[in-house]
Structure 1
């Protein structure tokens, strides 16, 4: 599949956009008119630069408000179009995008539209240009791609075809199956964008909230499957208007964009393969097939001085396995929950989650897939007797290790006895239940796409959680069997002290450990001096009102600062520790198949943490 991207998707100058697109691996670009008009590069310079970068210049856009206008305006539009055709000749672009009219001067007359589109195509033919006519979702009279196609068919000119844009089609809920009735050679261009489902006027939705494929809720593989069956074999190009993307780093946005198209291509190929389709005119490549991860192998925390974290782990009942043979790295374990403390390259670093290990069936294949999805490999120097671990970097910098087993644990020595050995049934059954990662605002959608495409985690519906700092957007990513659970939080920046006027980053992250009997475990931790996050009395009064709990259980919850939730499957008990640096721990117990994360308690946790930060 030939991939493309519109320059409007990216930040920076036209030259920066072209270089970023080429570096990310795109085959071509759409030149957005504003990017060219504001550039210091001449059209000839742009053409040469694209050629040097190995980029095709696939489309010039947009040409607006052309069709169904009075004769005098039509003639003026032809003069305007001819100037653009000459410009396209200098650029070396042979296709122009013409949008359906949204102006007030348009006339509702299909015969007039057909006549004027034919005249435009005739003029374009003299310059070697093809016209791709597109129905805008907010077009005054033409807002349906089938209507646009009928006009193209009636105009009957070899230089006139249609452009199919996923946003304009799917935002209006149009049926996509009729795409297959359009001859592939008359589809001159295909643009794709995803979007979250919003209750918003379609123009505002389009201009600000489009995202890359896989970051929204449109069924793009189904759409692209119809396009492939129609016989289309041209570029599949991204056209995404998004305020965040146009402020973010141009190179990483281009990589994110390319990843989205690669994953869309694979999902379309899989959909076609499941339907027993033969090969299409547009080749659809696939990636190495890998199974979803089956568990969380370990979590790593990096810190220059981990003493406070070691004390917290000991109070939680973790035991030190030992130092690594060759690296300044220590391993702490509690049952099957493994925490790595990394001092390597940690000068000036406060404790924070730096790496996650995922159990996978084939680590080499999983790493190869990740790299093809434009993930950056993480180099890990190893001695001859050490495990070779495959790892790539997530968008927020977290290192993602792909582990086939736990043989690497032997590199840390035999370890010491756990404080719980012989005293509790908790230790052998403990495991990492989920990880909660904070995400910078400009990379949140990128992170969702990364974990969806690279690790096959399924995004659940996002939730907004209130906190004293503002709303926190929370996105759960998990495998279908819930063996891996990851929560991504988009936390706000807050002014934590109005007197000093300092800004504090509230990206606290945590590791959640599951144990079989939380009340017994919590009492043991309390006995070891573990600092629990203090829960206000008002929470327990509200809990008593919401649930008919046994008074003895409620008293125990209150005594140990435990939180409680219930769903239609079961019950949930959990507590939080105080934070060390930007990391803290949660300990949970899932009873009778409880499937959530205690979401109703999240505002309580945020408020308690905010109060603790203010008290420092």
Structure 2
């Protein structure tokens, strides 16, 4: 099935957009009229450029406020439409999008609108152009695709059909099942966009907050399945109005967009009654990760991190035999410290290792989804890891999960170390919190969803000293992988937003006492916080005193309790130790403002 994208979905001039779409691998594009108007290239030159780039020009849009008007207004509208059709003809485009009237409609009648669309079809036919009529979600009288189809059905003109747009259907919570009642040859075009679930006027929602498939809350796979069951075989086309994508690099955004369609086609093919075929190119199937394998911190000098790890009970378990890389362990938890090619870099989370059921399958899936490969120099006697680079630059690697109790094979490459520490207190990596730039946060969600099969929790906002921090957790269903993505307030650079690695403990109080005995400096928690804990949760005085003594934080939900502490920040990374009691499944979100304020006090002296 062909892929297409509206030029409004990415930044740049029209020529730059066409090059970006072609380089990414799209089959075609929709030309957004303002892009052509602002271009210094004639329609014929754009047509020729698209042909040289191997792009079809699939749609010219939009033609607004045509039907549902009085005769005098409609006469002027036909003149305006003829000029648009002439431009489409010069571009070599055979379909023009006509939106339902939002501004000048005065006649609320499907028969009246149908009669005017029939006459519009007569004009379109003279230019060898077809009209795809779309019900805008904020249309004055036509805001439902079912009403738009009824109007087209009554118009009964070979040059008049419908355009189905997922945003306009799903934002109004209209049931898409009736799409299957529309004959395939009357569905002239299909436009797709995802979006977050927001409570706001639908026009603003549409103009500023659309997303690529896989990044929002719409069930696009089911929507597309309804369309395909009609026999529709036109392109899957993206029309995404989004303030971020209009500012970011068009080449990167175009690849990001195409990845979303590849993912969507794969999801559609898995639905009952659809199936895979030539129109839905399969993506390699790979099961989600089953656990963390390692976390890598990179810096020119990792000695400060080594001191911190030693205070936390980790031991040095070897030096890599060919690279300036060391391994620190506690039980089955592995932290890799990398000083290779790290000049002028402060400590930061550079890579996350995952254990997956089948590493080769994950590698094939990542390649099918155009995930950029992560390169590491590997010698003959060393294990090559599958890897991809996330949108924020963090590298993700994966290995096939070894048998229970056995380390992965790559651990043997580290020599002359101590046996792993094992006091039974440290269980596993609980979560890795990554700071992502605002302009790649949506792309990061798609990357983790599509490549690794993670799901996105609802985003939350945390108040910090420098503004709101937006956080969204990507995770497996069983919680074995949790990756909170934090977007810093725009007044901060992403580098000023620390990352952290959280470890799950069986007894966080014992871990804290042992770490303090080894000289660990905890992140200081203000006394006011403990007064708040005592009042809010009714915690007894002895427990509050213990929390206060060890700078521990506390949270409770109906499912259980959560106790945790933070270390000081080294470079841009710090550690957290957590104990989940019962079925507590959160992250102590209400404690985050306390942590952010304490970190700001330390950073400002």
Counterparts in 2 of 1:614 and 1:494: CA distance versus 1, 3 Å: farther
For these two proteins, the number of residue pairs brought into alignment is 599
Structure 2-normalised TM-score? 0.96
Q: Deviations over 1:566-606 (max 9, x none)?
A: 22222211100000111000011122232111112111111
Q: Is the 8 A contact 1:334 1:431 kept in 2?
A: no
Query: Which runs of structure 2 are paired with 1:414-425 in the superposition (5 Å)?
Result: 414-417=416-419, 424-425=423-424
CA distance in 2, matches of 1:564, 1:365: 41
Q: CA deviation at 1:490?
A: 0.8
CA distance in 2, matches of 1:451, 1:227: 27
Q: Is the 8 A contact 1:297 1:358 kept in 2?
A: yes
Q: Is the 8 A contact 1:98 1:133 kept in 2?
A: yes
CA distance in 1, matches of 2:498, 2:602: 12
Q: Is the 8 A contact 1:494 1:506 kept in 2?
A: no
Q: Is the 8 A contact 2:269 2:275 kept in 1?
A: no
Select 2:550's aligned residue among 554, 557, 560. Answer: 560
Q: Deviations over 1:363-417 (max 9, x none)?
A: 1210111121121011222111100111010000000101114110110115125
Select 1:391's aligned residue among 387, 391, 410. Answer: 387
CA distance in 1, matches of 2:309, 2:260: 39
Tell me whether 178-187 or 125-134 shows the greater mean CA deviation. 125-134
- For structure 1, the 5+ residue unaligned runs are 496-502
Equivalent residue number for residue 399 of structure 2: 403
Q: What secondary structure sits across from 2:585 in the alignment?
A: coil
Q: Is the 8 A contact 1:191 1:238 kept in 2?
A: yes
CA distance in 1, matches of 2:19, 2:254: 10
Q: CA deviation at 1:70?
A: 2.3
Q: Is the 8 A contact 2:136 2:142 kept in 1?
A: yes
Equivalent residue number for residue 483 of structure 1: 480
Structure 1-normalised TM-score? 0.95
Q: CA deviation at 1:504?
A: 8.3
Equivalent residue number for residue 128 of structure 1: 128
Equivalent residue number for residue 439 of structure 1: 436
Is residue 71 from structure 1 mapped to residue 71 from structure 2 by the alignment?
Answer: yes
CA distance in 2, matches of 1:572, 1:29: 51
Q: Is the 8 A contact 2:134 2:162 kept in 1?
A: yes
Equivalent residue number for residue 523 of structure 2: 533
Q: CA deviation at 1:287?
A: 1.0
CA distance in 2, matches of 1:477, 1:507: 18
Q: CA deviation at 1:110?
A: 2.6
Q: CA deviation at 1:196?
A: 1.0
Query: Which runs of structure 2 are paired with 1:43-192 in the superposition (5 Å)?
Result: 43-104=43-104, 106-192=106-192
Q: CA deviation at 1:279?
A: 6.5
Q: CA deviation at 1:178?
A: 0.5
Q: Is the 8 A contact 2:508 2:564 kept in 1?
A: yes
Q: Is the 8 A contact 1:356 1:398 kept in 2?
A: yes
CA distance in 2, matches of 1:12, 1:31: 13
CA distance in 2, matches of 1:414, 1:446: 41
Select 1:321's aligned residue among 317, 332, 346. Answer: 317
- For structure 2, the 5+ residue unaligned runs are 403-407
Equivalent residue number for residue 40 of structure 1: 40
Tell me whether 370-379 or 390-399 shows the greater mean CA deviation. 370-379
CA distance in 2, matches of 1:507, 1:15: 37
Equivalent residue number for residue 472 of structure 1: 469
Equivalent residue number for residue 405 of structure 2: none
Equivalent residue number for residue 455 of structure 1: 452
Is residue 594 from structure 1 mapped to residue 593 from structure 2 by the alignment?
Answer: no
Q: What secondary structure sits across from 2:448 in the alignment?
A: helix
Q: What secondary structure sits across from 2:270 in the alignment?
A: helix
Q: CA deviation at 1:607?
A: 1.1
CA distance in 2, matches of 1:430, 1:567: 22
CA distance in 2, matches of 1:89, 1:519: 74
Q: Deviations over 1:305-349 (max 9, x none)?
A: 111111111111111112211112111111111111111221111
CA distance in 2, matches of 1:567, 1:453: 31
Q: CA deviation at 1:278?
A: 5.8
Select 1:606's aligned residue among 587, 596, 599. Answer: 596
Q: Is the 8 A contact 1:328 1:343 kept in 2?
A: yes
Q: Is the 8 A contact 1:208 1:242 kept in 2?
A: yes
Q: Is the 8 A contact 2:523 2:551 kept in 1?
A: yes
Structure 1 segments of 4+ aligned residues over 6 angstroms from their partners = none
Q: Is the 8 A contact 1:494 1:504 kept in 2?
A: no
Query: Which runs of structure 2 are paired with 1:223-262 in the superposition (5 Å)?
Result: 223-262=223-262
CA distance in 2, matches of 1:137, 1:570: 43
Q: CA deviation at 1:549?
A: 2.5
CA distance in 1, matches of 2:216, 2:304: 41
